A and B are shown apart, each in its own frame.
Chain A
């Protein structure tokens, strides 16, 4: 074996390289965020965030798109979180090693590797055409759910698994059933991990465009923000209306937009998108830490 360089020096060099690579990564992220904040700085004001977009004149805002994005993430979370977490629990606790479990894991991995446009087209045929809903927020939410389920299931499984065995055994030893142990001990202890996964998935849903082009649509009817009756066609809360989200709007305005200030709007909207992702993350960390303190206090 060649050992001309002393191991200690190699060790130092390797450590330095690793610091460098990781540092470069963080710098890259800062550059990304900085670039968009700088580019979009002129647009980032209250008016831009709250007014409706204009079709052919300068000065339109992104109000409805922003609302739609948040609402869509919320709707999809309503379905994907319980389902995904439950599937994660099943995988971590009940799934016995064997064909079926192998197949289930294979399914999850395959599902998570599907191109989002394929999920969008599946949504077009199923949630738009087959159900007769046409382009709806709900259709978009369901399509995004398909996108997010594998992510949430995986992270939940990991979170439940990473709870120390001693805690689980303690609960079982006290006479709790397996399910009681899961519900009252494992899941609460895994909450920080689960929340992180959910937030990551929400971030993806928030920025998703390809899937939504074909399901939630590229237009938004006139919204009356004083009408909170979810059954009314102009109510923002109505899940069965077309809804253009922020990411879709960026895509549209870049590709087919006729407004003269398309560039500025795209810059501004991208900055908002990135800031939202940042906010999502900070929130997740905060909540996760809070919950971690509350539920995970017994962790050693």
Chain B
């Protein structure tokens, strides 16, 4: 919101204006636009590579999306990606279900219960979790979580459950810190008004703060979901990569990023097999994009109601 004074200055186009306002403004605007251009570039690049499955190799989009037949090295290859798509959806949805309650609790704790402990202990802890490389998560999953699951639930240990747990931990910081921001951004009036009406702290959190912070929380959830969808190395190490749709939690499964990481380096660029991997990458982009748009719509609706 430029204030009237600044606006007046804006109107006077001269050297002083350029020196004190225009140059800086132009610089940051270019930087902002650069991000958009970069995204468009990436999207364009993915589109060109990804669409060649359909345009150059003349495979059917319906086969790609809805066929479970994946036999890329057969004499008459089939490139149905449904198994991978379902795997990705299952893994990230489960991860979200596991992670969100814990993330929200931590966010509430940091912003409402004990901001001091939150700032001095939890916030740094969350930041360190973000910094832990996904290779390390995957490796912990492989050497600790998988054997543990095998002992306690039977099966192989490599499973949908293992993948979801590792993912849940990885998206925890994203959801927790963004939700905490959403709570913190609420005006103090909300809390005071609620307390004045005799509500307890929990009632205030549940009935007043949680609904009010929902748009921000949703943003966090969506970004967490996006991270879960795109995560590759850690998940691939613990899900077993069995090419079939899992029947239960302890079944091994496979997802889009796993098949991309496993086959990308070993297939030559420009072959139909390689092209279909790019199509999957394009699909990943489209899915995250869809989620982001959806979340913004819900966020906006809620804001409008308020």
Contacts from A to B (Cβ < 8 Å): 7-8, 10-11, 14-15, 17-19, 21-22, 25-26, 28-29, 32-33, 35-36, 82-84, 86-87, 89-91, 93-95, 103-104, 106-119, 121-122, 125-126, 146, 149-150, 153, 158, 169, 172-173, 175, 177-183, 196, 199-200, 203-204, 206-210, 247, 250-251, 254, 266, 270, 273-274, 277-278, 280-281, 284-285
User: B28 and A90: CB pair below 8 A?
Assistant: yes
Residues on the A chain within 8 Å of B70, using CB = none
- Partner among A121, A177, A200, A247 whose Cβ is within 8 Å of the Cβ of B135: A247
Residues on the B chain within 8 Å of A29, using CB = 125, 128-129
A83–B114 alpha-carbon span in the complex (Å) = 35
Give the interface SS of chain B, mostly helix, strand, loop or mixed. helix
- Partner among B122, B169, B292 whose Cβ is within 8 Å of the Cβ of A113: B292
What is the chain B residue whose CB lies nearest that of A29?
Answer: B125
User: B125 and A19: CB pair below 8 A?
Assistant: no
On whether A109 and B129 interact (CB within 8 A), knowing A115-B232, A179-B25, the answer reads no
User: B113 and A178: CB pair below 8 A?
Assistant: no
Q: Which of A113, A114, A251: most chain B CB closer than 10 A?
A: A113
B72 within 8 A of A: no
Residues on the B chain within 8 Å of A17, using CB = 105
Residues on the B chain within 8 Å of A281, using CB = 124, 127-128, 131
On whether A204 and B24 interact (CB within 8 A), knowing A116-B230, A117-B264, A153-B35, the answer reads no
A175 CB to closest chain B CB, in angstroms?
A: 7
Number of interface residues of B (CB under 8 A): 88
What is the chain A residue whose CB lies nearest that of B40?
Answer: A107
Residues 96-140 of chain B, each 1 if its beta carbon lies under 8 Å from chain A, else 0: 000000100110111001100110011011011111111110011
User: A203 and B130: CB pair below 8 A?
Assistant: yes
B227 within 8 A of A: yes
Residues on the B chain within 8 Å of A36, using CB = 136
